[in-house]
Chains A and B, each alone.
Chain A
Amino acid sequence: EIVLTQSPATLSLSPGKRATLSCRASQSISSSQLGWYQQKPGQAPRLLIYDASSRATGVPDRFSGSGSGTDFTLTINRLEPEDFAVYYCQQYRRSPHTFGGGTKVEIK
C-alpha cells in the first residue's frame, strides 16, 4: 500500500498570501498518478488537480500542482476567502487508491 503523508496538518494564512501544501508518498508514484481535492464543511470533495499538475475543469489558475516520484506540491497563489478548506492528495497509481490525511488551510 502506498502511504501518503501530507504536511503541514494545518496552515494558517491571510487572504492574498500563497499556500504551499506537501504530499509525500511512501514509494514512487510513476506516471504522476496523483490528484488533489478540496473539501469544504458539509460538502463533497472537489477535484482540483489530476496527474500531479493538470487542473480540472473550472478550477482557477491560482491553483497549481507539481512534483514527481515521491514528492508532490499543491500551490495556491493569492488565497481567496473561498479557498479556506481542507485539501487531500490521492494516488491512483495502484490499488488501494489511498488518500493523504489532509491539510487544513485556515484564515490567520
Chain B
Amino acid sequence: EVRLVESGGDLAQPGRSLRLSCAASGFTFDDYAMHWVRQIPGKGLEWVSSISWNSDSIGYADSVKGRFTISRDNAKNSVYLQMNSLRAEDTAFYYCAKNLQKQVLYAAFDCWGQGTLVTVSS
C-alpha cells in the first residue's frame, strides 16, 4: 500500500523557518517525482513545489521562490520542504503528493499524504 506521511508542521513566527518532511512507503520511491501542495483552511489547492525522481528538475511557485527549498533523500524514501522567511500568508495545510507516472515530472498526483498544518503568526 502506498503511504505518504508528512511531519514538521508547527506554529512559527513570521521570518522564522520550518522544515517539513514526507516519509514514503509502498512504492519504489526513486522512480517518481514528488510534489508539495498547500491549502489554506477552507480554501482551494495551491501547487508549491516539485522535484524529479533524480533531483535534476525542481520547480517552485512564484509565491515561495527564493524562500522555500525542496529536496529528497532517495536512500531514506523522503522528500523535504525547507521553508525560510515565513509569512502569515504561508499559513496552510501542506500536502506531499506522488507523481502518477514513473520518471516524468509532469503528471497527475495519484497519492497524497494527510497533510501537516503550518501556522505563521506572532
Seen from chain A, the residues whose Cβ lies within 8 Å of a Cβ on chain B are 33, 35, 37, 39, 44-47, 50-51, 56-57, 88, 90, 92-102
Contacts and interface: CB of A to CB of B under 8 A. Distances in A.
B100 A47 contact: yes
B106 A92 contact: yes
Interface in B43-67: 44-47, 50, 59, 61-62
Given A44-B95, A95-B59, A33 B106 contact: yes
A90 B109 CA distance: 9
B61 A96 contact: yes
Given A44-B115, A88-B45, A97-B35, A50 B100 contact: yes
B11 interface: no
Contacts, number: 64
Interface of B: 35, 37, 44-47, 50, 59, 61-62, 95, 100, 106-115
Interface of chain B: mostly helix, strand, loop or mixed: strand
Given A35-B109, A50-B107, A90-B108, A96 B44 contact: no
A56 B108 CA distance: 10
A88 B44 contact: yes
Nearest to B107: A92
Contacts of B106: 33, 92-95, 97
B116 to A, nearest CB: 11
A37 B95 CA distance: 14
Given A50-B108, A96-B62, 11 more contacts: A37-B109, A45-B95, A45-B109, A47-B108, A50-B107, A56-B108, A95-B50, A96-B47, A96-B61, A99-B47, A101-B44
